[in-house]
Amino acid sequence: MAKDTQRDISGAYEHLMSLSDGMVAPSSDQGKSNQVQLEELIESLIDSGVDDPIKQACWHPNSLDAGRVVRQATDNIFNLVQKESLFQLDLFVIPIILVVGSQKNIRLSTVMRDVGVLQDLFEDLGVLGHCKNFGLANSLTDHDVLNGYPLKSWKEAGRYHSSKKPMTLDFSECPVEVRAGSEAAQLRFLCGVSLSPSSAPSIFESAGNIGRWGIKFAEALSQQISTEDCSILAIPRPPMPLIKSLEEGYWSVREVGFQLFASNAINHARLKFGEADISIDSSSGGKVLVRLSSLFDDSFDRTFDFPVAPYESHEQVLSIMDHFFRDIGVQRYQLKSADNSEIYVNCEG
């Protein structure tokens, strides 16, 4: 039975990849047909409670483009507007990067003292549009819990029926562990739901401009979970569908983590002896390694490991590193590419 189940999962994964591959560079007719078949297959797997092939296709695709297609198609299923309904129920997720620092080891609770403060903030800033009802979870969850949530439950909770009681989604608290004397970026998610007229913009559109609410939301959230023992900077992203939030959240926490590492190390070097020697190694497969050292101080040697997910490219990672180094005035860095060739990149050129 185990072998049969594994064979079914493998077959479903291959089918998902085949359909998505056909959408990467198809004719218009073939692309439309494949998209319909792809979304029908994903929905049938969700309804059957078979999540593994979908998640494998999302996070371990046979090509980067195919994975992108499956992720988008899966979110389309969750956010399908029902033609017969006057209202649209949208489940959304706000990825949040918590930059936490403390002088002692602490376990920071992510249960909010008064989530109503955050809900009122959205309403007061006018970012809910025509939303008739809106709610937020009272605690933050993490990547593993959110990714492990049954897709069937998520789909059913996002379907509006005037005659049925909405399904409740429940997320347990995911505390943040903070080490003494450290400053680190931690990824958490805030889940919510909005009810809007089907003809009105969704929460993804009305709250998509984070410039209108991001700073005040960050301040209010930080106050909700902060303690006297630590400092917290909350960095929210706009509301997103489930799969997109997992992708963007994981990317953002690594990007912010890299920026914290690089800025702290470079500032230390500049205050002590001048510019650090920077090398980037992208030849190690599933990661990009950044090292800062100096010929003037043998004790200064710091490294950062930036994991590259199977659905991402090294070029994405190298691009954000290059932009960051240029923005903070780095003159040059050494780059080792996947083919083991080494060059010096002039940031002032």
The answer on pLDDT for 1 being more than 60 is: no
**pLDDT reported for residue 75:** 95
Domain that holds residue 64: 2-78
252 lies in some domain: no
Asked if 231 and 284 sit in the same domain, the reply is no
Does residue 245 lie in a domain region? no
| Residue 135 sits in the same domain as residue 169 | yes
| Of 19-28, 182-191, 212-221, 238-247, minimum mean pLDDT range | 19-28
**Same domain for 202 and 121?**
yes
* pLDDT tens-digit readout, 79-117: 876 666 778 888 999 999 999 998 889 899 999 989 999
Beta-sheet strand order (sheet of 277-281) = 301-307, 287-293, 277-281, 332-336, 342-346
Q: What is the mean pLDDT of the chain?
A: 89
Q: Are residues 91 and 71 in the same domain?
A: no
* 170 plus 232 within the same structural domain: yes
Among the candidates 78, 103, 131, a domain finishes at 78
CA-based angle 124:130:134, to the nearest 5?
A: 65
Indicate whether 254 belongs to any domain.
no
Classify residue 260: in a domain, yes or no.
Answer: no
137 shares its domain with 93:
yes
Q: Does one domain contain both 96 and 197?
A: yes
- Which residue in this structure is represented by tokens 């230390």? 268
Residue 256 lies in a domain: no
Range from 74-88, 140-154, 226-240 carrying the lowest mean pLDDT: 74-88
List residues bridging with 333 in a β-sheet.
345
Residue 253, in any domain of the structure = no
Q: Which of 205, 224, 240 finishes a domain?
A: 240
* Same domain, yes or no: 148 and 194: yes
Asked, for residue 49, whether it belongs to a domain, the answer is yes
| Single residue among 202, 224, 240 that ends a domain in this structure | 240
Max mean pLDDT range (80-89, 131-140, 200-209, 310-319): 310-319
274 and 205 in a common domain: no
Residue range 49-65: mean pLDDT, rounded: 95
pLDDT surpasses 70 at 162: no
Q: What is the pTM of this model?
A: 0.92
| Residue 248 domain-assigned (yes or no) | no
182 in the same domain as 282: no
When divided into structural domains, the chain yields a total of: 3
Please state, for a pLDDT cut of 70, what percent of the chain lies above it.
Answer: 91
Q: Looking at the structure, do residues 63 and 105 belong to the same domain, yes or no?
A: no
Same domain, 193 and 235: yes
